[in-house]
Amino acid sequence: MESESGILTGEHFLGGNEACAEGAIAAGCRFFAGYPITPSTEVAEHLSERLPEVGGIFIQMEDEIASMNAILGAAWGGMKTMTATSGPGFSLMMENLGLGLMTETPCVLVNVQRGGPSTGLPTLVGQGDMMQARWGSHGPYEIIAISPSSPQEFFDYTIKAFNLSEQWRVPVLVMADEVVGHMTEKVTIPEPGTIQLTPRRTPRVPPEKYLPYEPDTDLVPQMAIAGNGYKMHITGLTHDIKGYPVINEEAQGALVERLVQKIRKNRHKIIEYQEEMCEGADVIVCSYGISARTSLLPIERAREEGIKVGLLKLIVVWPFPDERVDELAGRTRGFVVPEINFGQISLEVERCAHGKAKVILVPHAGGGIHDPEKVLEAIRRAAA
């Protein structure tokens, strides 16, 4: 079913990548720039047809570097913007991701992860980009990253990503994976008026009083739209509240401290996770994306064996829920962390557990999902 505005509503049978594209449209995205790359190409293909139907713009760029730059520029022109890629393209976008962080440009970058390194497994699953999502660009900064486990979540979390990007004026990453991107399931799309959207924080002062990087009390500045009469200077250089370059230690300290603290001081408003039977659990499985979903069967079998096991599913992976993992570590024997890499988020769990509980990684090189028996065996070891 399609509304008069061209936005889909109702129940649909969609692939994860198509659900992501529809989530972007529902969130108000009207500009997409990207370059085809497996296994995210369906996001671009779907939006190439759908954006013109809702008055939006689709541009296929010459590469991923230009794609990221294009969505930053369109965002300053007043649009909600998005790009999508996978491993090699994600690496190419890191420089301009840093530009988006420095200029505090709201936008969404979707990474449908595949097996790597290098060209790796273009059509098969991986989760090896999770640390790159946090540390991939250079310099000190904070980032927000979300991980869906189903097409419905891919739709919902894409909307969430746009809301977070507007609220905190930061590029937000949606760290999906090939299985979720190519999985086809029922997706329920609410009526447009029922979806809560975060508007852009536009200036509340006239142009003559506007300072592009003067922060509000939550450390986030108001953002003018280019061409609306507001004077602005947008640069990747260290800058003052007017936006002009100031190349010294004092300016760097003031600017970067705010960029970092606007996320750290508000992390309790950003962090989100789902818990199932974690209170009183002897073992907690902590995972994300498709690996959280494929952990459900071994968790069920472990419970049948009498093991008290809970699930801590990460929705927002970055910022990481340090405090909650620390709390749970004091009440459980161990954590089991299945992920399709050789240890990334498991290192964060280990860091936050502070030695109070064992942490058992269930690694996978990529190309497929976990064998349930291997996760079950790790749960048994953690409970012993």
- Considering the domain 10-194, what is its CATH architecture? 3-Layer(aba) Sandwich (3.40)
Got the DSSP string for 139-173? Answer: SS---EEE--SSHHHHHHHHHHHHHHHHHHTSEEE
- pTM of this prediction exceeds 0.95: yes
Burial of 24-55, coded b for 16+ CB within 10 Å and e otherwise, reads: bbbbbbbbbbbbebbbbbbbbbbbbebbeebe
For domain 276-383, give the fold: Rossmann fold (3.40.50)
* Side chain identity, residue 168: W
- Position 1 scores a pLDDT of 58
Q: Where in the chain is the domain with CATH 3.40.50.920?
A: 276-383
Confidence (pLDDT) at 6: 82
pLDDT at 159: 98
Q: What does residue 330 show for φ and ψ, rounded to 5 degrees? A: -80, -5
Q: For residues 23 and 158, is the Cβ–Cβ distance under 8 A?
A: yes
**Residue 2, pLDDT score:** 58
pLDDT tens digit sequence for 14-36? 999 999 999 999 999 999 999 99
What 3-state class would DSSP assign to 346?
Answer: helix
Residue ranges matching CATH 3.40.50.970 in the chain:
10-194
Place of tokens 């296929």: 60
**Weakly modelled stretches of the chain, pLDDT under 70:** 1-4
What was the pLDDT predicted at 322?
A: 98
Phi then psi dihedrals of residue 262, to 5 deg: -65, -25
In order of 32, 35, 91, 269, 369, the CA distances from 66 in angstroms are 12, 9, 13, 32, 33
Residue 91: is it exposed, middle or buried by C-beta count within 10 angstroms (0-12/13-18/19+)? middle
pLDDT of 4 reads 54
Q: What is the pLDDT of residue 172?
A: 98
* Distance, CA of 242 to CA of 240 (rounded, Å): 5
